[in-house]
């Protein structure tokens, strides 16, 4: 099973060498991405509403990124990209001119 695991922060302290505490530190929750048999997709919305897909999968495995513009039956999925996972995460910019598009990632 693959998944995104959120690591909430419940308490944080920051200490300098010598034992003095920091007064200016920021706490951000983290996420661990676990990839087993199923590939994962995460979307990021950046500056100027630029969309990026993050594709997670097992290294050396081939995947297909599919898309559809409507989820009404019968759904017609089309191939956007066929690739081999060469890094732990692949960042893929997405055309933001189509505001409604659905993606899925499959191992062919």
The pLDDT score that the predictor gives to residue 30 is: 85
CATH number for the domain spanning 62: value is: 2.60.40
CA distance linking residue 31 with residue 58, whole number of Å: 18
Choose between 26 and 7: higher pLDDT. 7
Structure tokens at 10: 């419940």
| Tally of domains within the chain | 1
User: Buried b vs exposed e over 75-93: b needs ≥16 C-beta within 10 Å?
Assistant: eeeeebeeeebeeeebebe
Q: What is the mean predicted confidence (pLDDT) over 53-70?
A: 95
Place of tokens 């097992």: 58
3-class state of residue 48 by DSSP: helix
What digits encode the pLDDT tens for the residues 23-47?
777 777 888 899 988 999 999 888 8
Q: What is the pTM of this model?
A: 0.77
Q: How many angstroms separate the Cα of 17 from the Cα of each of 1, 25, 27, 57?
A: 41, 15, 20, 40
Domain range enclosing 54? 3-106
Q: What is the mean predicted confidence (pLDDT) over 91-95?
A: 89
Q: What is the mean predicted confidence (pLDDT) over 10-31?
A: 81
Position 58 pLDDT exceeds 80: yes
């Amino acid at each position: 099973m693959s998944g995104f695991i959120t690591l909430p922060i419940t308490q944080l302290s920051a200490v300098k060498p010598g034992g003095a505490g920091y007064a200016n530190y920021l706490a951000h929750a983290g996420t661990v991405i676990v990839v087993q048999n199923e590939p994962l997709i995460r979307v990021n919305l950046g500056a100027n509403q630029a969309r990026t897909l993050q594709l997670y999968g097992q290294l050396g495995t081939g995947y297909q990124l599919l898309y559809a513009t409507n989820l009404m039956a019968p759904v017609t999925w089309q191939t956007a990209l066929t690739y081999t996972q060469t890094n732990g995460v692949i960042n893929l910019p997405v055309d933001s001119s189509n505001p409604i598009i659905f993606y899925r990632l499959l191992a062919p």
